[in-house]
Chains A and B, each alone.
Chain A
């Protein structure tokens, strides 16, 4: 039975084994997978090329993570249904993901059937959260802690992830299609805004904010 009704999907995850398995499951259910990516930048490109109804993104991907990729995707194609997939149920950034415009946040320990259910919910216009995640969201809402002030712009966060992954300024410029001079000035401004002036501490900041995994 063709439950997926040929809806077009782009899938992004740097674990190829997982991604390929997911594609096979989606195709079996009648979805049309029009693109596969292994990092956030590739995901953005594919979405731009194929305009899918649904994008399944892993939360932590190299070069550009799921939340930042979501922001970029929705800037150009705000009606895209972006769904984040994650291994961890203690993600710091559930609320941040929702604020970024994610329509679903799904744990990888859910079954394929539950994933399909989530996709159907999202296509109907609802937001879907894995049961394990809902609790984290409620706790975050109830918590008296202030929302961490966002000190950086979208672009600066994209640069920061690359710095934290060990990229040189030249490489950062290349990945983001910037001039080296521009990349350099982003780097300087990041350090100024965060009040952090060495790489090691920048990396630890990125780990704390969930931008990269140690």
Chain B
């Protein structure tokens, strides 16, 4: 039976997932409620697969994964995350994670990820952007990580509610140039609505809500 260690700071999620995994035939050998504990328990319990949440106190999923991978070349790690943040996921893969599943996915996805990684395969849940794999393979940066300073300025002004004309005036550009910055930004971030752009700006601290 595959031995699994669960690390997530939300007890309710841990306990529910434990129940589901036990029903799917896994042996849950322990639970950690923060990144530091995840590192300790992986060392002491030697699970086959560690399921770890991205956002945990003390050490987040990526930091914990890095430490664990350093001390333990063979344990498999499946990252659980709430966001489809390409940059975050790429970092996690580079830190040594073997699989990623979003929390909005069904439990079956996690079961699948554990089984696949346990047998040595890599697993990215279906709708996680494939651009990550390319970036990993090429060892390049993702397009979304390379917004130019000018583009960031434009994002900020769009998020402030300024029209293209106002942005053009403020940045001493033509409205057409602003328009083309805007479409390049949307393309780089793989989004197509102002609402999403505003959320991006708030998340990246380019602007306060």
Where the two chains meet, the residues of A that have a C-beta atom closer than 8 Å to any C-beta of B are 14-18, 20-25, 28, 38, 85, 87, 108-112, 115, 163-166, 196, 198-201, 203-204, 207-208, 212, 214
Contacts and interface: CB of A to CB of B under 8 A. Distances in A.
Given A15-B82, A23-B16, 15 more contacts: A15-B103, A17-B101, A17-B104, A17-B110, A18-B10, A20-B106, A20-B107, A21-B16, A25-B15, A28-B19, A109-B9, A109-B11, A112-B16, A196-B161, A208-B209
Given A24-B16, A165-B195, A203-B194, A111 B11 contact: yes
Interface of B is mostly: helix
Nearest to A22: B16
A212 B20 CA distance: 29
Nearest to A27: B19
Contacts of B107: 16-17, 20-21
A22 B12 contact: yes
Contacts, number: 117
Given A17-B110, A108-B12, A200-B160, A207 B202 contact: yes
Contact of B158 (A110, A111, A200): A200
B202 A204 contact: yes
Contacts of A199: 161, 194-195, 198
A22 B19 CA distance: 9
Contacts of A17: 13, 17, 80, 101, 103-107, 109-110
A25 B80 contact: no
Contacts of A198: 161, 163
Nearest to B22: A24
Nearest to A23: B16
Interface in B187-209: 193-200, 202-203, 207, 209
Contacts of B5: none
B139 to A, nearest CB: 30
Contacts of B106: 16-17, 20
